[in-house]
Structure 1
């Protein structure tokens, strides 16, 4: 029997609210991939729409966790990073990637730190610069336009032309080993697009999905997690972007109309459709 593929995801654990680890663990696992977790912090809820939430930073725990894994001979086929609690954690995470990733393994970096032109609470340009350095370890990086602009020190705006998106993706080649997946392009047909750039071949492809006028916390995590799972079961980055875009859209569609569900999207109800998406693309 072949050894099971193992992925480590490093991001925060929000005890309530659909984001970060509570998305990554079930979604990546749904691809038949063993998924280990390393929480960067534990929060009572996520930070969008909630007040007085509790936060416990786990920076001090990271070195000892790595040492224990080393003593147990634990390695991973891929490392997938999301929300990182502090700039100080970057060096520990780099050490974990260097020591616990198998030879030839993949690194996926979702630089989850900003959206709609603004940093998440507690982050700043210095953090973005450190995140840019972490991205350089990534075989795949998955920024939205805001995160790309902060990494590149470019001004953000609500709408970018196709030419501007491609230009940003080309600049982001300096922050990845191989692939850039730049999210957030909207064309004149009201479709949402992702720029998929292959640094090795200089090829660029735009993947489109129908736009849904619904904004929710956690959709970036749904996209990133289903992208990671798709790549790890053998899909190309373009195919993975199509699957992730469609899966995210289905999760949003299952959430629209439920006014009480404002803390995420009902991605769990879309998981049974993942196998159909894998066969379609």
Structure 2
């Protein structure tokens, strides 16, 4: 039997609320991929809609974990970063990528720091600038329009034209080794993603039918299913289509349940993920 693919995901653990590692671990694992975790912080809940949540910053633990992995000879085929707790952690993560990624391994950076024109709690432009430096190590970067605007120091607006989205993707080529997956084009009936290949200078737009529902954690659902799709051999365009459809199905599972306001029921959509992998 061939050695299994091993991925490391670096992001926070929100003990309650479907986001970050509590999405990445089950979703990437659903692709048959061994998934290791490195928590950047532990929160009692995520930060959207909850109050008085607790936060345990794990910055000081990162170097010791890296040192232990080095002594054990532990390497990864890919490293996937999400919500990072502090700017200081970004420097440690660069070292972990340099030390623990196998030759030829892939780096996926989801610069999870902002949405709808605003930073998440605790982040600012200085953090965005350092996140931009981490993105430069990424073979794939997956920003939404807000994150892209902060990285590029451009003003954000609620709706961008397709020409503006394409220009933004082109500008982001300075912040990736190869691929930009820019999310957030809304044409009214569909949501579009720009898949820009820096190496080949090609651009494709991937569309999914729009769901009239917004929820926390959809970015993590998208990124995790995109990573899994790429790692099992799907093309970036196929992976964007799969991730968009899986995210849409997770949203559809959640609509109508007013008690489930804190995330999407992605677990209920996982059986349908396998059908997507066969059809796309």
Shift of 1:92: 0.4
Structure 1 residue runs of 5 or longer lacking an equivalent are none
TM-score, normalization by structure 2: 1.00
Paired residue secondary structure (1:37) = strand
CA distance in 2, matches of 1:68, 1:142: 30
Q: Determine if the alignment matches structure 1 residue 206 to structure 2 residue 205.
A: yes
Q: Determine if the alignment matches structure 1 residue 215 to structure 2 residue 214.
A: yes
Q: What is the root-mean-square deviation in Å for CA atoms of aligned residues? A: 0.5
Deviations 1:109-147 (A, max 9, x none): 000000000000010000000000000000000000000
Q: Determine if the alignment matches structure 1 residue 232 to structure 2 residue 231.
A: yes
Partner of 1:260: 259
CA distance in 1, matches of 2:228, 2:143: 17
Shift of 1:2: 0.5
CA distance in 1, matches of 2:33, 2:66: 21
State the 4+ residue runs in structure 1 displaced beyond 3 angstroms: none
Q: Determine if the alignment matches structure 1 residue 121 to structure 2 residue 121.
A: yes
TM-score, normalization by structure 1: 0.99
Partner of 2:160: 160
CA distance in 2, matches of 1:115, 1:213: 17
Q: Determine if the alignment matches structure 1 residue 138 to structure 2 residue 133.
A: no
Shift of 1:213: 1.3
Deviations 1:77-129 (A, max 9, x none): 00000000000001100000000000000000000000000000010000000
Q: Determine if the alignment matches structure 1 residue 101 to structure 2 residue 135.
A: no
Structure 2 residue runs of 5 or longer lacking an equivalent are none
Partner of 1:50: 50
Shift of 1:244: 0.2
Shift of 1:169: 0.1
CA distance in 1, matches of 2:38, 2:271: 26
Deviations 1:192-219 (A, max 9, x none): 0000000011100000011111111000
Partner of 2:20: 20
Shift of 1:23: 0.1
Q: Determine if the alignment matches structure 1 residue 91 to structure 2 residue 91.
A: yes
CA distance in 2, matches of 1:192, 1:273: 20
